[in-house]
Amino acid sequence: MLKMTHLSKAFRTEIVETFALRDFSIEVQQGEFVAVTGPSGSGKTTFLNIAGLLETASNGRYELDGQDVSALNDHARSKIRNEKIGFIFQAFNLIPDLNVFDNVDVPLRYRGLRAGERRRRIEDALERVGLSARMKHYPAELSGGQQQRVAIARALAGRPRLLLADEPTGNLDTQMARAVMELIEDVHRDGATIVMVTHDPELAARTQRNVHIVDGQVVDIDAAEPRFAAVAGG
């Protein structure tokens, strides 16, 4: 589903060049659930942004769903991103002036789906995350956990092949974090490939594989075997 080979990402100023990723290689198979861990500043979010076609690499090759997307123009990248990739962010990224229904609707409108199809998808997604009764509420009227569930519904409505989650429980209390994780696990059971950046060892232990990044490089990759422990062992 996702393959990066000898990929680098450099940020340059007139004085210095800083590498967020250096000679970075990784493969994620279709249907996997992978946790990406590492210290702050290690390159995890840069990797996720490149995986989601929000940023481009400086060098290297990136194949997504069998297609080389390394050198696509902005229009082509946006089209693939909208059709194949879903995002869940720590900060929710909801539009405050839109209600729950319309927040979930935004990416579907960009895909040109008919109104009836969009409504069916939105209602199905909101029912799945337990927010059917809140579809006319605005983000400010929801708790943090409810806002994150709206973000998950927005991703679900697009039926993504690849779901990218950046610290999806980082702003939630322990109980709500577990509830959100259970929703993400449900998405995985439905066949989506999921890559999740997290600092939480408990959440990482619930995925199939853990990729550890330090200083912009992969330093440890677990064997691709399912793990179901409640707490990570290391």
- The CATH number of residue 212's host domain is 3.40.50.300
In a domain, 84, yes or no: yes
Q: At what angle do helices 144-157 and 174-189 cross, to 10 degrees?
A: 10
SS3 content of the chain, % helix, strand, coil (to 5): 35, 25, 40
How many folded domains does the chain comprise? Answer: 1
In a domain, 223, yes or no: no
In a domain, 116, yes or no: no
In a domain, 5, yes or no: yes
In a domain, 119, yes or no: no
In a domain, 112, yes or no: no
pTM for the whole thing?
0.82
Q: Is the pLDDT of residue 104 over 70?
A: yes
Q: Is the pLDDT of residue 229 over 70?
A: no
Q: Which domain holds residue 37?
A: 1-92+158-218
* Residue 101 CB partners (closer than 8 Å, separation 6+): 122, 126, 135, 136
In a domain, 127, yes or no: no
Q: Is the pLDDT of residue 227 over 50?
A: no
Q: pLDDT band at residue 119, thresholds of 50, 70 and 90?
A: very high
Query: For 96-111, what is the mean pLDDT?
Result: 92
Of 189, 187, 129, the closest CA to residue 163 belongs to: 187
